[in-house]
Structure 1
Amino acid sequence: MIRFEDEQEANEEENEKPKKSMMDRLLETRTITIFGEIDMKLAQEIVEKLMLLAADSDDDIKIFINSPGGHVESGDTIFDMIRFVKPTVKVVGTGWVASAGALIYSATDRENRYSLPNTRFLLHQPMGGVRGQAQDIAIEAEEILKMRERLNRIFAEQTGQPLEKVTKDTDRNFWMSAEEAVEYGLVGQIIGSADEID
């Protein structure tokens, strides 16, 4: 026979157990979200999650991304880590995937790049601002040009587009719908449900 006190004690014990956060539950499903501006703090969080999941098993990892872009080097960090870890990483674009966000999105092989139907994509040249002596401004301008060339090479390689076309397209803001991004080679497949992720 169960007494009321036993039920109460069981409920108290259950309440004392630490509750899993939404992030813990997402990680259990090997899912990472990248939402918002890309910065060093976010890059560190994503790298830590990728390393944790890679250490746990070789099963696929899913990343959902909705980002206006941000700090290019932070995007580089996430891009490189997606390629560094052993598990296959599948990326799903939602909302908008722009600038450094598009760089991160392109890190996987095309067949592992998915998009929800209403996602928009933006490629463009890196932007920067600097003040100071003319020599310092010239150095920074040269670095931005090198960065632009490097990013264009990555997008050309990941989309299959000629470098000259990517360079021309990214001279200004180059927006694409999900369908246009498939044609461009950025998106592998437009999906409408989670079941469609292989």
Structure 2
Amino acid sequence: MNDDEKEQEDKAPQDAVSAKLMEYAIKARKVFITGVVDERMAKDVVQQLHILSSINEDPIYVFINSPGGHVESGDMIFDAIRFISAPVVMIGSGSVASAGALIYAAAKKENRYSLPNTRFLLHQPSGGIQGPASNIEIYMHEIVKMKKRLDNIFAQATGQTAEKISADTERDFWLSAEEARDYGLVNKIIVSEKEITRPT
């Protein structure tokens, strides 16, 4: 047996376990967003959301622990949550940062929960570009437009003004679960799933 065959054989049980866990998650109507937000994750999460919503319109429970990542991939998940018919209940755990916080804010205020030790991070978009000055100028213009759009999204989600969001996020703006609740991002801090109110 060569190394490739051995690797495939070792991977087979892991794939079987992953498939079983995914089957359980679908039946339980639970979606897990963990790790960096990228195009692959966004595709997988959006597919799950659409499949679950097409099965029936019972609530979908999304558990999120993410340091953030690609903003446009976060936008894709955000828009899917708003688009589908089934209500989405969002549960923040660990770290809900950057693009992760954007995804979290997609759920209706009354459906946003946090576990006690969760930390939230809001900040302005960032990135790097090289090339001609004209391209850099275009890129910076797009970054400014993106920041205004995100400020408005978080203003709508929290009840704060867009101006306050903009000022608060000039630098990394970390919030504990309690601070995020007081800020309007979190509806309720919970320690048990029994504390979640089923959306009507």
For 1:37-56, list aligned pairs within 5 A.
37-56=36-55
State TM-score, norm by structure 2: 0.89
Where has structure 1 moved over 4 Å in runs of 4 or more?
A: none
Aligned to 1:171: 170
Aligned to 2:189: 190
Give 1:113 deviation, angstroms. Answer: 0.2
Q: Which amino acid is 1:31 matched to?
A: K
Q: Which amino acid is 1:65 matched to?
A: I
For 1:42-191, list aligned pairs within 5 A.
42-191=41-190
Q: Which amino acid is 1:60 matched to?
A: P
Task: Measure the CA separation in 2 of the matches of 1:29 and 1:197.
Answer: 15
Query: Deviation string for 1:128-153 (max 9, x for gaps)?
Result: 10000000000001000100000000
Q: Which amino acid is 2:157 matched to?
A: Q
State TM-score, norm by structure 1: 0.90
Task: Measure the CA separation in 1 of the matches of 2:102 and 2:173.
Answer: 14
Aligned to 1:10: none
**Secondary structure in 1 aligned to 2:129?**
coil
Give 1:23 deviation, angstroms. Answer: 1.2
Task: Measure the CA separation in 1 of the matches of 2:169 and 2:181.
Answer: 17
Task: Measure the CA separation in 2 of the matches of 1:56 and 1:141.
Answer: 43
Segments of 5+ residues of structure 2 without an aligned counterpart are 1-15
How much is the aligned-residue C-alpha RMSD, in angstroms? 1.0
Give 1:109 deviation, angstroms. Answer: 1.0
**Secondary structure in 2 aligned to 1:21?**
helix
Larger Rg: 1
Percent identity reads 54
Give 1:182 deviation, angstroms. Answer: 0.3
Task: Measure the CA separation in 2 of the matches of 1:197 and 1:28.
Answer: 18
**Secondary structure in 1 aligned to 2:113?**
strand
Q: Which amino acid is 2:48 matched to?
A: K
Segments of 5+ residues of structure 1 without an aligned counterpart are 1-17
